[in-house]
Homo-oligomer: A and B are copies of this chain.
Amino acid sequence: MKSGSSTTDAESRVALPHKVANMASPAVSPRADAESASDRLLADLKPRQAAIDDALGVWLARVTAGGPAAVHEATAYSLFAPGKRLRPLLAVLACEAVGGTLELALPSACAVEMIHTYSLIHDDLPAMDDDDLRRGQPTCHKKFGEALAILAGDALLTGAFQVLAEGYAPKTAAVSCLELAKGAGAVGMVGGQVIDLQAEGKVGGTPPEGLAALEDLHARKTGALFRSSLRLGVFAAQAERPQGADPQALAAADEYAAAFGLLFQVTDDLLDVESTADKAGKRVGKDAARGKLTYPGLLGIEESRRRASELGQTATAAAERLGSPLLAALAQYVVQRDR
């Protein structure tokens, strides 16, 4: 799977003073409007990203303490490579939207980021996508060798469940472990990855064809973990209630996740054909080179942009039902992302 951006957008953007100046300008163009909305979003996300990073450090230490140093080193290397923390942010924002706090969401946030990072480590392996560069630095196996990379991935995958089981009261822990296992497992993320490799001919079976198959692929490959991220956030806030989590909140979270996941993939595909390696922090244009099934390949660039805009609107509407202006802003931000 691909992570999209490599640098921490929040950090790089909010550090530019001229953009802050733009925000104060009385006569702003639509483009400047979008920029200032982005700036506000990123400023709102920044303290949450910092809290997520802190919590990741604490939980990773807890999961690896007493084990061989090499495991901590390799897992920390990949976990703390510059990243947007998109999935943990989804968990945090969903939790906050339904009555929880940032603090309460952190174990969920860390668990989904550990799952995401493990999937990147394994996907980058020579037998899989065979990538040398990830998040702007050598991939885990390039740095530590294949054996340790495989095991670092295994440790992060396993550790994610430790974080949930240790970080929450039993009802929340149980429902969250179940959700994460389904989202990350054979039917969800791993299943999506298998279908993706079938598309590339690296795994036997019928390669997916057409838009429905492409969207099924991405619903699993990226969408399932987005969905789990949001659901875990809702569970963190509500699963201990006698009646459990609110079904309407979960339904809105699922709708957001489905649209956001596809939106993220369309824009990722678009970036792959439009971006430069410098911005993306990884090889670009490689999808086409591999004959990989993509939105631009299937729909063309213009129609893909239209699809992104449509998905952005769907996600925004779901975010509003969930009561989260930040999730709505995040969807709009992804529509406009350039890395």
Contacts and interface: CB of A to CB of B under 8 A. Distances in A.
B70 A148 contact: no
B203 A70 contact: yes
A316 to B, nearest CB: 29
Contacts of A202: 145, 147
Interface stretch (A21-29, A153-161, A257-265, A271-279): A153-161
Interface string A140-171: 00001111101101110111011011101111
Work out how many copies of this chain go into the complex.
Answer: 2
Interface residues of A, number: 63
Given A161-B177, A181-B162, A190 B154 contact: yes
A68 interface: yes
B155 A186 contact: yes
Contacts of A211: none
A284 interface: no
B157 A157 contact: yes
A241 B284 CA distance: 56
Contact of A159 (B148, B181, B205): B181
B67 A191 contact: yes
A162 B178 CA distance: 5
A195 interface: yes
A63 interface: yes
